[in-house]
Structure 1
Amino acid sequence: MNALIIFTWVLIANPSNIQFSTESLMVESNSGYLQLEWNAETNAISYVLQQSADANFNEFKTIYQGPDQATFISGLDNGTYYFRVGNESGHWSDTLTLNVKHQSLSLAYTLFGLGFLVFACTVFIVIKGVRTSTTHS
Structure 2
Amino acid sequence: MLLCFTCIFAGFSPALAVVPPELNCALPAEDGIHRSSDGVVDLKWTDQRALTYQLEQQTNGGDFELRYEGPDQSSVRTGLSQGDHVFRVRSIDSEGQASAWTDIRIQVEYMEPARVRLLLITGGIVVLATISVIIFGHLNHRKEESA
Give the drift of 1:110. 0.7
RMSD: 2.9
2:36 equivalent in structure 1 = 29
**In structure 2, the residue corresponding to 1:75 is in which secondary structure?**
coil
Cα distance in 2 between the residues matched to 1:94 and 1:78: 23
**In structure 1, the residue corresponding to 2:99 is in which secondary structure?**
coil
- Do 2:59 and 2:84's aligned partners in 1 also have CA atoms closer than 8 Å? yes
- Tell me the amino acid that sits aligned with residue 37 of structure 1: L
2:12 equivalent in structure 1 = none
Counting only pairs closer than 5 Å after superposition, residues 5-44 of structure 1 correspond to structure 2 as: 13-22=17-26, 24=29, 25-31=32-38, 33-42=39-48, 44=50
- Unmatched runs of 5 consecutive residues or more in structure 2: 1-14
Deviates more, 1:120-129 or 1:45-54: 45-54
Structure with the bigger RCO (C-alpha within 8 Å, sep 6+) is: 1
Give the drift of 1:54. 7.2
- Unmatched runs of 5 consecutive residues or more in structure 1: 1-9
Give the drift of 1:45. 4.7
- The superposition leaves residues 110-136 of structure 1 with CA deviations (integer Å, 9 ceiling, x where unpaired) of 111111111111111221222223333
- The superposition leaves residues 25-53 of structure 1 with CA deviations (integer Å, 9 ceiling, x where unpaired) of 5211233x122231314064543321014
Larger radius of gyration: 2
Does residue 100 in structure 1 map to residue 108 in structure 2? Answer: yes
Does residue 82 in structure 1 map to residue 86 in structure 2? Answer: yes
Q: Report how many aligned residue pairs link the two structures.
A: 123
Does residue 73 in structure 1 map to residue 77 in structure 2? Answer: yes
Does residue 127 in structure 1 map to residue 135 in structure 2? Answer: yes
